[in-house]
Structure 1
Amino acid sequence: MAWVLLLVAGLLEVGWSIGMTYTDGFTRPVPSVLTGAGIVASMLLLSYAAKSLPIGTAYGVWVGIGAAGAALLGMLLLGEPATAPRLFFIALLLVAVVGLKATSGH
């Protein structure tokens, strides 16, 4: 169950990180509230997952999902460049996430 919570926390991190681009510096109420709720929910789920997973693994997976997801959505939704080197390094992030899970002992 901790891994499911961690996956959802990571996906929420992707959501709130992309959501920040729509808050206009937290001056737009609806995107700001949704982004803030995503931040709180993501952190809560991370903290629940970290009760039974090593914190280094939990945090690393959470950050990896968030960074890779935000980079990919930035390319797909926000027109950020999708160059071969960027895609390669996103793939490396995902390999690291899988490696942390595989070596966590849980």
Structure 2
Amino acid sequence: MAWILLIVAGLLEIVWAIALKQSDGFTRLWPSVLGLVTAAISFVMLTLALKDLPAGTAYAIWVGIGALGVAAVGILALGESASPLRLACLLLILLGVVGLRLVEG
């Protein structure tokens, strides 16, 4: 159950980061509300997952899911760079997240 909470928390991190980008510095109401609410839920779910998972592993995976997801949305929907070097760095993050999951079982 802790792993499911952690994965959902990481996915919500993607939502809140993109929503806050769309909030334009908290000048747009609904993206701001969505960002703040999903951030709160994500933090609560991370906290619950930390009851059963090592802090370093859980935090690294949470951040990794968020970083990869936000980068993917940026590339696919926001026109951000998909240079080979950027993709290689994202691959390294992915390998780290998968590796940590495999090590922790």
Which band: TM-score by shorter chain? over 0.9
1:91 deviates by 1.0
* Residues 26-77 of structure 1: per-residue CA shift (max 9 Å, x gap): 1111111000011001100000000000000100000000011111111111
Q: Mapping of 1:22-33 within 5 angstroms?
A: 22-33=22-33
Query: Matched residues in 2 for 1:19 and 1:92: separation?
Result: 26
Runs of 4 or more, structure 1, over 3 Å off, are none
Amino acid at match of 1:66: G
TM-score by length of 2: 0.96
Structure 2 unpaired stretches of 5+: none
2:41 aligned with 1:36, yes or no? no
Amino acid at match of 2:88: F
TM-score by length of 1: 0.95
Structure 1 unpaired stretches of 5+: none
Indicate the SS of the match to 1:70. helix
1:23 deviates by 0.3
2:85 aligned residue: 85
Amino acid at match of 2:67: A
Aligned-pair identity in percent equals 51
Query: Matched residues in 1 for 2:75 and 2:19: separation?
Result: 14
Query: Matched residues in 2 for 1:87 and 1:2: separation?
Result: 29
